[in-house]
Amino acid sequence: MTLREGQLVLRDGTVFEGELIGSQANTISSGEVVFHTGLTGYQEVISDPSYAGQIITFTTPHIGNYGTTPVDNEANRVHARGVIVREEARRESNWRSDQSLDSYLKAMGISGIAGIDTRRLTRILRDTGAMPGAFGSTDFNTLLQAAKNEVGTSGVALVDQVTTKQSYVVGSGHYKVVAYDFGIKSTILRCLSEIATVTVVPASTTAQEVMALNPHGVFLSNGPGDPEAVVGAPQHIRTLVDGGMPVFGICLGHQLLTLALGGSTFKLPFGHHGANHPVRNLRTGTVEITSQNHNFCVDASSLDGIADITHTNLNDLTNEGMSVRDSRAFSVQYHPEAGPGPHDSRYLFNEFRQLMEAK
């Protein structure tokens, strides 16, 4: 495999040299650079629509060891802007593998850069926060300007780029669930399909349109970017909650439910991206190891008197879950479906089923 030399330039002028991998269709790839700390699941991470607008840095030094397979895709196409790795595996070794990581990136039209000192890059992002950057084979000044021109994720309506354009149905379970697609993952749909027939609807769907489908419950999916930029969704969610509808939110859905209740959110310095975040369940006292991917967070104090805080992140004590008082709504900031894992929190889907059963 012939590699082309390239460089990664951050908005502050920091430069890293490496070799370009994946698709070479774009001379420059730019986006908000974040880091992911999971040891496995690189294909699920790359194909997660929640990474729209971002370039993913993998802190695990070897990426691509076990190849890729279409079964593990979380979406039909990749919305991430690019990937950064220390070393791409020279060969994949797994009986499930259909193609190498490099071939996968080329098929998806996504560029990457390898040979980067990801430890140094991660330390920079931890100290300064997620930062726009650009990589490619062009000169330093061109890449620096591209990084400076990158708008990041704050205030950007990224959900519009990833949501479905038309409704569709998956599963054949006992209950009827309407799932808002703010960037929903395939693994979430598989988990919901075990308990319900799921009608997936666009992010712009109104509460009245949802109620016309006569669901037993409504699911608010994960998704990319700033919850404040998802225009209209909080108002429709509030109508559903006030109407007594069982509602379960994950990640961006958790943040949107907060906005629907009159609460507020804020942007974390470098976000939570990984499959190893400890979260305490305040109702049981147990600690769950969770999969996470979000840059924005709920301000727990803004929910005083409105919702009970149910989960807390043990790394930084930020909010990870809530149960809305005098309603049938609850949500968590992390990913209980967790493809490929861990699965400590999958009990939450059963709690959603119990809410619908009670209704």
Q: Average pLDDT for residues 86-104, to the nearest whole number?
A: 95
Active site residue 335: yes
For residue 60, what is the DSSP state? S
Residue 106 confidence (pLDDT): 96
Cβ pair 185, 339 in contact under 8 A: yes
Residue 60 pLDDT greater than 80, yes or no: yes
**66 phi and psi, to 5 degrees?**
-110, 15
289: number of CA atoms within 13 Å, CB side? 8
Which residue is listed with tokens 């909010």? 319
pLDDT bracket for residue 238 (50, 70, 90): very high
What is the DSSP annotation of 210-252? HHTT--SEEEE---SS-GGGSTTHHHHHHHHHHTT--EEEETH
The pLDDT value given to residue 26: 72
Q: CA torsion 119→122→124→129, rounded to 10°?
A: -170
> 3-class SS at 164?
coil
Average pLDDT over residues 106-124: 97
Of the residues 79, 236, 311, 335, only one is catalytic, namely 335
Of the listed 74, 88, 92, 337, which one is catalytic?
337
Q: One of 79, 236, 251, 273 is an active-site residue; which one?
A: 251
How many other C-beta atoms can be found within 10 angstroms of the C-beta atom of residue 236?
21
Residue 21's closest CA among 103, 108, 139? Answer: 103
Distances (CA, A) of 172 to 101, 180, 189, 198, 248: 34, 18, 12, 8, 19
What's the CA gap between 203 and 182, in Å, rounded? Answer: 6
DSSP, collapsed to helix, strand or coil, labels residue 144 as: helix
Q: Are strands 175-181 and 87-88 parallel, antiparallel or unpaired?
A: unpaired
241 pLDDT higher than 80: yes
Side-chain half-sphere CA neighbours of 109 within 13 A: 6
The Cα 294–Cα 278 span in angstroms is 15
Q: Which residues contact 64 (CB under 8 A, 6 or more apart)?
A: 42, 85, 88, 89, 92, 100, 101, 102
Q: What is the pLDDT of residue 340?
A: 85
Please provide the DSSP assignment of 325-355 as one string.
TTSSEEEESSBSS-SS---TTTHHHHHHHHH
If pLDDT is split at 50, 70 and 90, which confidence band does 1 have?
Answer: low
Structure confidence by residue, pLDDT tens digits, 131-186: 999 999 999 999 999 999 999 899 999 999 999 999 999 999 899 999 999 999 99
Min mean pLDDT across 20-34, 237-251, 275-289, 296-310 is at: 20-34
- The position carrying tokens 């802190």 is 59
3-state secondary structure of 11: coil
pTM, 2 dp: 0.96
Q: How confident is the model at residue 43 (pLDDT cuts 50, 70, 90)?
A: very high
Q: Dihedral through CA 343, CA 349, CA 350, CA 352, nearest 10? A: 160
Per-residue pLDDT at 339 exceeds 90: no
Question: What are the structural domains of the chain?
Answer: 4-149 (3.50.30.20), 159-358 (3.40.50.880)
With b for 16 or more beta-carbon neighbours within 10 A and e for fewer, the 93-130 pattern comes to: eeeebeebbbebbbebebbbbbbbebeebbebbeeeeb
Amino acid at 263: G
- Average pLDDT of the segment spanning 51-62: 97
